Amino acid sequence: MSSAAEFRNILVSLDIDGAVSFWGQLFPGHPVPATREEVLVSMHMARTSASSINFQERAYSHCWLLDHNFPSLLPDPLKPRAERLYPKQVGGVGISVNSKYPVVQRAIHGAMHNAVLETYADGHQDEPEVVKKRMQEARLRERKGLML
């Protein structure tokens, strides 16, 4: 098997160990990536740019790179199709404050909004129960501060 075909098989299967062992042969004189994550990122980037890899695998690597905040090398005309194939999931938080007094609404909404931002800053954006709990605590604190 030629080295190009062997490397293509490593890319298709995302074989990190195979890539590391093959790296020195394929790119002599170039440093081997230090961590498994660096190897995986390099492999996904190579998959997005290689036209010999089937489109679904290229699309998966494109979305993986974007989800992990790395640039994708997928050609621009293919990006919309890839993003339809693997749509991005986005979360959100709703804040509702019911009061007939606009000043009270703004104060409680602001407190709950800040609680959400602090919770996200603490790294709990994927834990809705933590976000909700902190929002409710901020709501109660603000209501006490407003003597309601």
* For residue 10, pLDDT beyond 90: no
Using one digit for the tens of pLDDT, what is the confidence trace for 72-107? Answer: 999 999 999 998 988 877 788 999 999 999 999 999
> What's the predicted TM-score (pTM) here?
0.62
* Confidence band, pLDDT 50/70/90 cuts, at residue 11: confident
Give CA separation, 100 vs 97, 104, 105, 109, 113, in Å.
10, 8, 8, 13, 19
Structure tokens at 90: 């986005």
* For residue 2, pLDDT beyond 90: no
Higher pLDDT among residues 79 and 27, named by residue = 79
Which letter does DSSP use for residue 74 in this model?
Answer: S
* For residue 1, pLDDT beyond 70: no
Could you tell me what percent of the chain has a pLDDT over 70? 99
- pLDDT averaged over every residue in the chain: 90
Using one digit for the tens of pLDDT, what is the confidence trace for 98-141? Answer: 999 999 999 999 999 999 999 999 999 889 999 999 999 999 99
Please give the radius of gyration of the chain, using alpha carbons only, rounded to the nearest integer. 24
In 10 A of CB 49, how many CB atoms? Answer: 13
Per-residue HEC secondary structure of 24-60 comes to HHHCCCCCCCCCHHHHHHHHHHHHHHCCCCCHHHHHH
Burial (CB < 10 A; 0-12, 13-18, 19+), residue 82, is buried
The C-alpha atoms of residue 59 and residue 82 are separated, in whole angstroms, by 5
* Confidence band, pLDDT 50/70/90 cuts, at residue 25: confident
One-letter amino acid at 101 equals Y
Of 26-35, 53-62, 72-81, 129-138, the one with minimum mean pLDDT is 26-35
The C-alpha atoms of residue 123 and residue 31 are separated, in whole angstroms, by 34
- Cβ pair 126, 115 in contact under 8 A: no
